[in-house]
Amino acid sequence: MKKIKIIKSIGCILGIVISMGLMANTGLAGKFPTKPIRVIVPTGPGGSTDVTSRLVASVVHQYLGQPMIVMLKGGAAGTIGMAATMAEKADGYTLVFGTGNHTSIVPHVRKVTYDSLNDFIPVFKVNNDPYLIISRSDRFKNFKQLIDEMKANPGKISFGSNGLYGNGHSMILKIELDAKVKFKHVPFKGGGPAIRSMLGGHVDTAGGLFASAGTLGRYKNGSVNILGIAAEKRDKLAPDVPTFREQGVDFVYQLWRGFMAKKGTPQDRIDIIVDALSKTMKDKTFLRLMKAVGSPPNPLHGKEFKNMILAEHKQFGAIFKQVGVTKK
């Protein structure tokens, strides 16, 4: 009888210990994040997407409780990095920091292994900037000079883009259509490498943004000229630069940069990430850093971010149909 009571007591103790263990495990499982979050950037080094991701990572850890580790996986117009994200678990510990190029342009012109509209959850847009066409200051003074020289030398003036059928390539397709000219297209693994090649005299022009490879600073010190800007109106950062529409090219494009997660990522984890990023957007240090590169935050998340991507995807589908580009 005594033995039975002892066994029962041991059973009760074990039950309590197991219950406490389960409670502890449940508590740990509910915490997020408990380790660094990897951020895949599907571009080359030095471009505006790379720069912006690192500026976010330098501050967000204060509000997230864990660091964001930036990992560059450029190439194939961003499809390598996007596919790499799809190969990871949908647990919130791997995000992709992409752009409209990856969601709204590339899927129209390349056969990809993912559905950009349905395989990813739009988490948080950080900022957006108008696309530019840039040259060294000793090469072209303005857009008219560029077009005149292109008409005199069809297919001879080179343009460095951030990849085949990326946003830069899409821009010159529209310029070619509206201005009736032809570029010599030279694709690179990102906007940064394209601009550096232009600075080195290897290509005549390049596509980029104010934040690409120090473009804003180079424009201010006179080492580069911005020949056109893909915006509805002139930008206060370069008020003397005409829009493309002012120069006869109907092209408006704001390149956004933002975080996306693999479909299936728990909403509570996405909410935690959104909260940390929202606080980062108001951080004084972050605001100062973004001002320095000429790209202030313009945050968007949830349904608004999703709807923006859907509208942009539709817009570029119409453009590619107009110029006759099909998937390859």
Q: Which residues, listed in sequence order, are joined to residue 125 by a DSSP beta bridge?
A: 258, 300
Residues 97, 257: contact at Cβ < 8 Å?
yes
> What domains sit in the chain, N to C, each tagged with a CATH number?
37-128+256-323 (3.40.190.150), 132-247 (3.40.190.10)
The pLDDT score that the predictor gives to residue 162 is 84
Helix (H) or strand (E) holding 70: strand 68-72
Task: Give SS3 for 130.
Answer: strand
C-alpha distances in Å from residue 250, one per residue of 38, 189, 224, 231 = 38, 27, 24, 10
- The structure tokens listed for 154 are 């069809």
Q: Give the pLDDT score at 235.
A: 93
pLDDT of residue 104: 94
Q: 48-64 vs 191-199: helix axis angle to the nearest 10? A: 130
Tell me: cis bond preceding 122? Omega within 30 of 0 counts.
Answer: no
Residue 288, burial from CB neighbour count under 10 angstroms (0-12, 13-18, 19+): exposed
For every one of its 328 residues, what pLDDT tens digit does the chain have, with 9 covering 90 and above?
Answer: 444 444 444 444 334 333 444 333 333 346 999 999 999 999 888 878 999 999 999 999 999 999 999 999 998 888 999 999 999 999 999 999 999 989 999 999 989 999 999 999 999 999 999 999 999 999 999 999 999 999 999 999 999 998 888 889 989 999 999 999 999 999 998 788 999 999 999 999 999 888 788 898 999 999 999 999 999 999 999 999 999 999 999 998 889 999 999 999 999 999 999 999 999 999 999 999 999 887 899 999 999 999 999 989 998 898 889 888 888 7
Amino acid at 212: S
State phi, psi for 230 to the nearest 5 degrees: -90, 65
The pLDDT, as a whole number, for residue 23 is 37
Tokens of 174: 């529209």
> How far, in Å, are 138, 181, 251 from residue 158 at the CA level?
15, 12, 20
Q: Tell which residue, 120, 73, 71, 48, has the closest CA to residue 305.
A: 120
Q: Are 227 and 133 in contact (CB under 8 A)?
A: yes
Q: What is the reported pLDDT for 214? A: 86
Q: What pLDDT is recorded for position 34?
A: 98
pLDDT given for residue 295 in this prediction: 86
